[in-house]
Homo-oligomer: A and B are copies of this chain.
Amino acid sequence: MSSDAPGFELPLRLLLAFRALIDELHAELSRQGHPDIRPMHGFVMQAIGPGGTTAVELGRALGVSKQAAGKTVESLERVGYVERATDPHDSRRKIVRLTPYGMDALHRSARIFDDLRARWAAELGVERLRALEADLRKVTPANPWRLDTPGWFTSL
């Protein structure tokens, strides 16, 4: 058939679908007591993880400088999602840990993402959704992490 979609539709739809999920996530998080959380926060908190990190590690994980990571941590600290404490084993390091409030945000995010996925499953059918996920896995790198998203798109 010659009715194939133009190539540019694919990236557009992928981005829009991503945005749709993220926007719905944050609308719901806002309803559930996290009105100040921003899209970036989720990624950063995910990168921090349950065990905590340091600014340098976080910067590496996120693909930004340690200074930028430090500033991000500061802003997360201001809204109460993380806290810092000096490492007893190495007094140079300051461990960044999620607060209970941060943990709550992360748990709720996971839950909401599951719900959103369920909505897609209802809309598309479970098999189609699984196929979609499988196909996306095929065309994306195996190791998801190291999203150096910040500024990647916008920088002119």
Residues of chain A having any CB pair with chain B under 8 Å: 4-22, 25, 38-41, 46, 72, 75, 109-110, 112-118, 120, 123-124, 128-133, 135-141, 144, 147, 149-156
Cα separation A113 to B109 with both chains bound (whole Å): 33
Closest to A11 in B: B21
Cα separation A110 to B11 with both chains bound (whole Å): 12
- Do the beta carbons of B140 and A20 come within 8 Å of each other? yes
With A40-B154, A156-B72 known as contacts, the answer to whether A14 contacts B7 (CB < 8 A) is no
Cα separation A128 to B25 with both chains bound (whole Å): 28
- Shortest 9 CB-CB distances between A and B: which pairs? A7-B113, A7-B114, A13-B136, A7-B117, A16-B140, A14-B18, A11-B21, A8-B113, A75-B156
Q: Assembly of this chain: how many copies?
A: 2
- Interface centre among A5, A6, A18, A38, by most B CB within 10 Å? A18
Closest to A76 in B: B156
Query: What would 9 A/B residue contacts be, using CB atoms closer than 8 Å?
Result: A5-B133, A10-B113, A14-B14, A14-B15, A15-B18, A16-B144, A16-B147, A124-B135, A154-B154
- Do the beta carbons of B156 and A139 come within 8 Å of each other? no
